[in-house]
Structure 1
Amino acid sequence: MTPGARVAAAIAVLDRIVAGEAAEKALVNWARSSRFAGSADRAAVRDHVFDALRRMRSAAALGGAGTGRGLMLGVLRGQGVDPSTLFTGEGHAPAPVASDERPRPMTDLEALDCPDWLAPQMRESLGGNFAAVMQAMQARAPVFLRVNLRKATVPQAQTVLRAEGIETHPHPLATPALEVVAGARRIAGSAAYREGLVELQDAASQAVVQALPLADGMRVLDYCAGGGGKSLAMAALARLDLSAHDVDPRRMVDLPARAARAGVPVRTVQTAALAAGHDLVLADAPCSGSGAWRRSPEARWRLDAARLSALVATQAAVLDAAAAQVAPGGWLAYATCSVLECENGAAVAAFLARSPRFRMQRDMRLTPLDGGDGFYLALLRG
């Protein structure tokens, strides 16, 4: 595919997303109907689409319309690319830019790609960092790896990765964290990944795990394990009696194979089999994902007040259920990949008000300004 044809494909995918189709579904449907597209083409189209999703408001203003075509015009202009070099009408490229497809003035919130309804809460939660965090979320997220310290040191992993054309450097957020600076698309096929020396994991997520009071012999429960990334990270830091649980066990279907590859013991448990008495319970609760909008930009535009309210209620239920699994004197760790105070400090304060057994020990707030995703962690002792 030519560069212009890739832009045209992105326009078609974006039109489906604007019409309500989920981004991943729209991309998959396009790929299935475009067998001629090679892996590089699919990656380029995906990059275009996600660049537009991160900047939907500002791109629509720069492109003069909130359509797929308008969004791609805006993305290119925002990147300093003259759209006329790609909108040529030749071959499969989009039609030339019309005289009325001009940028229009935008509001401050449009320029920051912040939903109007959410701006007051974002400002309150982020304070003086509001604009800087929103600007950071307009860019692609870095690619991070977690070195599996059970199998390799950080320098050893870097050497193996470098031999396969993957360049990295350590990141200060977490001891095992490597930021990938070249060769990111080679990771999945690399020996380092296949042999369990490294896992893909955001540096802030790694920092959350590293902040947990883990010690050999502890009985630990990852209450909202999902795919099990934090379970694997915990198991790599200490020799634990570790269980992974999720309300939807299907999310954990790949965890046994991942644990075997990493060489760490993790058991999966169903809700009915949970037994209280854990030294530490990690509750990485469902949330808005506002701290990870660089990676999942569609979530920014799908979120609304009703959905946020429902998530806050879910977080309260998760905290109560997870607390019941903590042994006397044990730890409850509450985490979200959100920067919204209603999901973070306010949720913990409400929990403490109804659960006098627990006491706050400390908390941690990270934003994309720290390098990784936005994350919150509260450590409570019960």
Structure 2
Amino acid sequence: MNKIDRIAARIISKYLRKGNMARAMRDILPRSGLSFEEREEVAKIVHSIVRYILYYDFLLERMNLDKSPKNYIALYHRNIDVDAPKHVKYSLSPELASVTPDEFLRIINREPETTLCINLPRISRKEAIEKLKEEGFEAEPYVPESAVITNSAARYSSLVKGGLAMVQDASSQMVAKIAASLGSDILDYCAGSGGKTLAMHALFPKKVYYAYDINRRKLDSLEKRTSVWGMNVRVFFDGVNGQFSVVLVDAPCSGVGAAARNPEAKYQNEFDKFSNLQVSILNEAKKFVQSGGYLVYVVCSYTPQETEDVVMRFLNENKRFKVEKRNFEGKYFKLGRFGAYILVGDVFYMAILRRE
């Protein structure tokens, strides 16, 4: 085995013992002595094996071989293709396989691209692309108008370091565009560390933004990020006050829509465990929607339990809210009963509910 395969084998060995692919990589890669390009190749190997591990297990059993890191890596390099049941071939839990449309399989099993969100109030996308190319990175415009597809190493570009861009999936940026387009003052209710807050400001810098999250440490991070980004946002640390024309709820979820980045998400079962929390958060957030305003529900998932079922439960309990679909047009959307699936990057579900 060459040095890249040896480091990949160490990571796979730790993953097989303890799970948590990302932690196994963090524990081993930084001290591997590999160059950035070599570390990227290791990451590609590890992601691919975890992404298709049920299929690799199937092949190893047919070949009567041990499920060892060495044999997984050998299969990765051989690229064998044989018939297998759907959940094995594409390596999903049986429950997830039963609700995954074929068109989503390509998205969740792709090699993920690196997409930047450009801080448009401070630099144009054209200027950002030129700057990236000057620094040796490939860069092309994407959708929406804040997005640029580039090399993974661009995470360390001067644009990102200087607050002129951030790494963010295109579907997240599309969520930000649609949500912020609906009103003049927007509350990001599950703001986390502020990714969508920053993206909304990049696209609509003259609107007024508020942010809340139950996690205080994430809000501290949000304040620091928005300062570097150059935007003003009121952060609610001790609970939300007031009502707003738009309340964005990017709720905690299974994350299966982002399985290209975190392939372990594909092996989950029991998606009902997320739905009660999601409905509960919507019922909290609805109090902050002004009359005629919008409650925007978003999850990075496509399971019925976390998407259409949650919205149906909420609507049944809240007759003053009605569904709107007018923003879901074009090839980047797949319509559902109440909302739509956004397909320009990771798979996001989005439903727009208007308070009468």
Coarse TM-score class (shorter-chain normalised): 0.7 to 0.9
Q: Check whether the contact 1:283–1:334 (CA below 8 A) recurs between aligned residues.
A: yes
Correspondence 1:115-154 to 2 at 5 A: 115-122=93-100, 130-154=101-125
Residue 277 (str. 1) matches residue 243 (str. 2) = yes
Gaps of 5+ in 1: 81-102, 123-129
1:355, CA displacement in angstroms? 0.7
For the residue of structure 1 that corresponds to 2:179, the secondary structure is coil
Match of 2:229 among 234, 237, 262: 262
* Counterpart position of 2:50: 53
Match of 1:11 among 9, 12, 32: 9
For residues 277 and 10 of structure 1, do their structure 2 counterparts lie closer, same or farther at Cα, with a shift above 3 Å needed?
same
1:189, CA displacement in angstroms? 2.9
Q: Deviations over 1:130-157 (max 9, x none)?
A: 2342144222111111121111222111
1:105, CA displacement in angstroms? 6.0
* Counterpart position of 1:111: 89
Q: Check whether the contact 2:7–2:32 (CA below 8 A) recurs between aligned residues.
A: no
Letter in 2 for 1:378: A
Q: Check whether the contact 1:235–1:265 (CA below 8 A) recurs between aligned residues.
A: no
Letter in 2 for 1:381: R
* Counterpart position of 1:192: 159
Question: Percent of aligned positions with the same letter in both sequences?
Answer: 26
The 1-side partners of 2:188 and 2:320 are apart by 21
* Counterpart position of 1:224: 190
* Counterpart position of 1:291: 257
Correspondence 1:1-382 to 2 at 5 A: 4-31=2-29, 34=31, 36-64=33-61, 65-78=66-79, 106-122=84-100, 130-171=101-142, 173-180=143-150, 183-185=151-153, 187-214=154-181, 218-238=184-204, 239-270=206-237, 272-301=238-267, 303-305=268-270, 308-362=271-325, 364=328, 365=333, 370-382=343-355
For the residue of structure 2 that corresponds to 1:343, the secondary structure is coil
For the residue of structure 2 that corresponds to 1:117, the secondary structure is helix
Q: Check whether the contact 1:62–1:77 (CA below 8 A) recurs between aligned residues.
A: no
For the aligned residues, what is the CA RMSD? Answer: 2.4
For residues 277 and 370 of structure 1, do their structure 2 counterparts lie closer, same or farther at Cα, with a shift above 3 Å needed?
closer
For residues 66 and 227 of structure 1, do their structure 2 counterparts lie closer, same or farther at Cα, with a shift above 3 Å needed?
farther
Q: Check whether the contact 2:253–2:299 (CA below 8 A) recurs between aligned residues.
A: yes
User: Please, what TM-score do these two structures have when normalized by structure 2?
Assistant: 0.87
For residues 40 and 142 of structure 1, do their structure 2 counterparts lie closer, same or farther at Cα, with a shift above 3 Å needed?
closer
The 2-side partners of 1:295 and 1:70 are apart by 23
The 1-side partners of 2:106 and 2:68 are apart by 22
The 2-side partners of 1:35 and 1:141 are apart by 23
Gaps of 5+ in 2: 335-339
Q: Deviations over 1:188-233 (max 9, x none)?
A: 33222222222211111111111125378x3321011112110001
For the residue of structure 2 that corresponds to 1:254, the secondary structure is helix
The 2-side partners of 1:35 and 1:158 are apart by 32
For the residue of structure 2 that corresponds to 1:212, the secondary structure is helix
* Counterpart position of 1:95: none
Letter in 1 for 2:55: S
The 2-side partners of 1:7 and 1:23 are apart by 16
* Structure 1 stretch displaced more, 104-113 or 372-381: 104-113
Q: Check whether the contact 1:59–1:72 (CA below 8 A) recurs between aligned residues.
A: no
Choose 1 or 2 for highest CA Rg: 1
For residues 326 and 15 of structure 1, do their structure 2 counterparts lie closer, same or farther at Cα, with a shift above 3 Å needed?
same
For residues 211 and 35 of structure 1, do their structure 2 counterparts lie closer, same or farther at Cα, with a shift above 3 Å needed?
closer
Letter in 1 for 2:72: L
For the residue of structure 2 that corresponds to 1:211, the secondary structure is helix
Q: Check whether the contact 1:339–1:375 (CA below 8 A) recurs between aligned residues.
A: yes
Q: Deviations over 1:93-145 (max 9, x none)?
A: xxxxxxxxxx98632321122222322232xxxxxxx2342144222111111
* Counterpart position of 2:337: none
The 2-side partners of 1:376 and 1:12 are apart by 36
Q: Check whether the contact 1:161–1:190 (CA below 8 A) recurs between aligned residues.
A: yes
For the residue of structure 1 that corresponds to 2:210, the secondary structure is strand
Letter in 2 for 1:176: S
The size of the alignment, in residue pairs, is 340
User: Please, what TM-score do these two structures have when normalized by structure 1?
Assistant: 0.82
Q: Check whether the contact 1:61–1:74 (CA below 8 A) recurs between aligned residues.
A: no
Q: Check whether the contact 2:189–2:247 (CA below 8 A) recurs between aligned residues.
A: yes
Q: Deviations over 1:33-63 (max 9, x none)?
A: x454444443332222112111112233344
The 1-side partners of 2:165 and 2:312 are apart by 36
Q: Check whether the contact 1:170–1:178 (CA below 8 A) recurs between aligned residues.
A: yes
1:257, CA displacement in angstroms? 2.5
For residues 188 and 144 of structure 1, do their structure 2 counterparts lie closer, same or farther at Cα, with a shift above 3 Å needed?
closer
